[in-house]
Amino acid sequence: MGNDSENASYPQHTLQADLVKYFSQFGPVVWVHFGYDFTLLDFNEKSIVEKVLSKNCHYLNGRRLLVKYKENKKAFGPVRQDRTDDKTFEAIVTGLKDVDDFEVEFGVMIAKLKPNRRAQEVEAYELICKDLRQFLGEKFFNMEVHPFGSTVTELGFSNSDIDVYLANVKPFAQPDDIPILREIKKILVRSHRFGCCFVIPSANVPIVRCVHLKTGIQCDININNMLGVFNSELIRYYMGIDPKVQQALLVLKYWAKCHNIKGQSQFFSNYAFTTMFIFVLQQSPYYLPTVESIQQVKQQTFWSIPHHSKPPFAPMAQFRSEALTKALLLELVEQFFKFYAEYPYHQEVICPYLGKSILKEAFQSPSEQANCKFLQASMAGNEDNGLAVSRTVCVQDPLDLNKNVTITVTGPMLRRLVLFCRLGKKICASRKSVLYKLLTEVPCDYKKQPVHENADSFQVVIHEAVIGGPEWFKNLIEFLRIALETFLLFTVTTEEEHADNQTVTVFACNCKYSLWDGRKSTAKQLNLSAQKLSLVEREQTITNHMKAAIPDHMKDLPVLLSFKITVTRNEDEALICANKLAAYKKTFKSFAQFFVCNFATWFELYQNDDNVSELGRQ
């Protein structure tokens, strides 16, 4: 951070206020940033930093602190696994040029993505499972190895990783997976058949990640996710009804990969994307069977099926769709784009179990609805009290009815999907070089919003189609003030409001503290993820904790950052523009990065919390 900055590493239980108070005895602290187990401090003079560093040892609450200059490291890291391979992409695009027939285009794409090596891939996957049985079976005698995911459904591309569920490994009475996963890791390391082994305890389903040395294939191993095995069987079932189902999924998966729609974290997962396509085919004119109808035992959900057995689906022969049989591959892809370009995400839940959409409000009072048994099953049985219907997108897992498989998808990511689906619908309607255009064209109104190091402004676009609701713009203005004043402690004044074919609101903002820095680490320190809080409650708790750590003398410091925010409404969107007036060092850049990454998601959660409250009052 410069010559007047230092880094202090400290025990996790150390209070932030105590830490600032300790270093303030050396001289005025003018800026502070709290990480999870470290703090960055700025003093007003370099001589104070030298004074701090000249002291051999620093102790606080009986613990020694590690104090040093902040080192500026090169920004580099691993390449995202889902990033499209440039050479493969270029080869596909080159092959698609001047090809008009969609079936021919599909053949060109598959020849590059999935070379005819299925036999070798199956052999490699079988070898991995054999090695797992051999070395882990000595410790876990009744263990079963169940591969699942794209290696089973054949929806992966060349050199796909393998997901494996190990059954009969975890004792029923032991709730914690981590000790067993660590034992599995040790065995695999000692086997010399697997390398790069490490446990990822923070994943949604904790796993051991390793590489099978002979094949070079990455393995993700879990001991608590039989649902993944059943989901793969369900996908295979639907693909078995007509080969075009798998073909269309391959097109859509690669399209989503090219445009960074499919992936992990805030992206749409592979399984969510596949489930959404199956749901489209359950609608007119194809009417694929519902998940409820293919189960041989009615009203049977995942948790009532005996584990380590295959799900009891009805014989496939009794389900046939004449419309699907006659449909062209392009028509199936086009149907996906048409459906999700205009879907009312903020109002409805995608339910493949029933094969139809259900209003979100129906889940708030299940006993009063026609499908009361289904709704009650969806809203009970897990730690979150049922299906998370209030999220940006809700796609219900067709086997585990309590689970929203798009729970992490954010508003900006949904907006990206909607914009690309609208473009995809237009491209398909042209019937010319469709796949080439799908992979290479982007919506004209799709703008990335990078924050440049020397930028004096930034902007965020909020779309009504994504947020929804009749009062969305009024709520946006209201929430913007809440976020700035209540969460980040800005002083906000309204400079002008006028309408000239547009609704324009201008705020002047200034602050003395960078409360956008360190919010994530503070939430982790307070263990807020374990508490059921609304967005406002959560962020207010973080702010109060951070505010308590600010030393008194910092309250008399000059303004740290000031800027103007202009909010303009244009038809079905709002444009938020911020222009810097004055800033200490790079505070405007750090604020811009924080705001661009978080505000849209905050607003969605605020809207959803408000909607849930309204439903509860009705």
Task: Report which of residues 66 and 394 the model is more confident about.
Answer: 394
Q: What is the pLDDT of residue 518?
A: 85
Least reliable range by pLDDT among 94-103, 220-229, 363-372: 363-372
- Lowest mean per-residue pLDDT among 182-196, 442-456, 493-507, 543-557: 442-456
SS3 80: coil
Question: For residue range 296-315, what is the model confidence (pLDDT) as tens digits?
Answer: 655 444 444 444 455 567 77
| pTM score over 0.75 | no
**Cα first-last separation, the chain:** 53
> Quick one: how far is CA 326 from the chain centroid?
37
> What tokens were used for 284?
């007119």
The residue ranking higher by pLDDT, 33 or 454, is 33
- φ, ψ at 72 (rounded to 5°): -85, 105
- Cα gap 510→596, rounded to integer Å: 18
- Supply the pLDDT for residue 425: 96
- Which pLDDT value is given to residue 615? 36
Average pLDDT in the 359-377 region? 69
| DSSP conformational letter for 272 | H
Tens digits of residue pLDDT in 127-153:
999 999 999 999 999 999 999 998 889
What pLDDT sits at residue 537? 93
The pLDDT tens digits of the residues spanning 416-436 come to: 899 899 999 999 999 999 999
Nearest to 274 by CA among 310, 305, 234: 234
- For the cut 90, the answer to whether the pLDDT of residue 82 exceeds it is no
Instruction: Output 347-350 pairs: Cβ under 8 A, ≥24 positions apart.
Output: 347/468, 349/387, 349/389, 349/394, 349/395, 349/396, 350/275, 350/276, 350/279, 350/393, 350/394, 350/395, 350/396
- Decide if pLDDT at 66 tops 60: yes
CA distances from 76 to 79, 266, 305, 335, 601 (A): 9, 21, 46, 41, 26
Q: Which domains does the chain have, with CATH numbers?
A: 5-68 (3.30.70.330), 89-112+240-439 (1.10.1410.10), 118-224 (3.30.460.10), 457-512+558-617 (3.30.310)
Cα–Cα distance for residue pair 519/524, rounded to 1 Å: 9
Q: Which of 168-172, 380-384, 397-401, 474-478 has the lowest mean pLDDT?
A: 380-384
CA distances from 475 to 108, 213, 347, 359, 606 (A): 49, 55, 17, 22, 9
Task: Check residue 264 and report its DSSP letter.
Answer: S
168-215 pLDDT per residue, tens: 998 866 778 899 999 999 999 999 999 999 999 877 789 999 999 999
For a pLDDT cut of 90, what percent of the chain falls above it?
42
| pLDDT at position 453 over 70 | no
Say which amino acid occupies 603: F
Task: Give me 44's structure tokens.
Answer: 């007003």
- Partners of 458 in the β-ladder: 578
The pLDDT score that the predictor gives to residue 32 is 75
- Measured CA to CA, the distance from residue 256 to residue 438 in angstroms comes to 10
Of the listed ranges 74-88, 214-228, 351-365, 470-484, the one predicted with least confidence: 74-88
pLDDT of residue 289: 93
Quick one: pLDDT at residue 382?
Answer: 47
Contact 311, 234 (CB under 8 A): yes
Contact (Cβ atoms closer than 8 angstroms) between residue 512 and residue 555: yes
CA-to-CA dists, residue 69 to 9, 57, 80, 399, angstroms: 11, 15, 31, 53
Least confident of 188-192, 241-245, 362-366: 362-366
Please state, in angstroms and rounded to a whole number, the distance separating the CA atoms of residues 233 and 383: 26
pLDDT for res 275: 97
| The two three-digit tokens of residue 22, written as one number | 């300790």
What the block records as the tokens of 539 is: 């962020």
User: What residues contact 147, with CB distance under 8 A and at least 6 apart?
Assistant: 125, 129, 162, 163, 164, 165
What is the predicted pLDDT for the residue at 300? 47
46 close to 4: Cβ distance less than 8 angstroms: yes
Mean pLDDT of the chain: 82
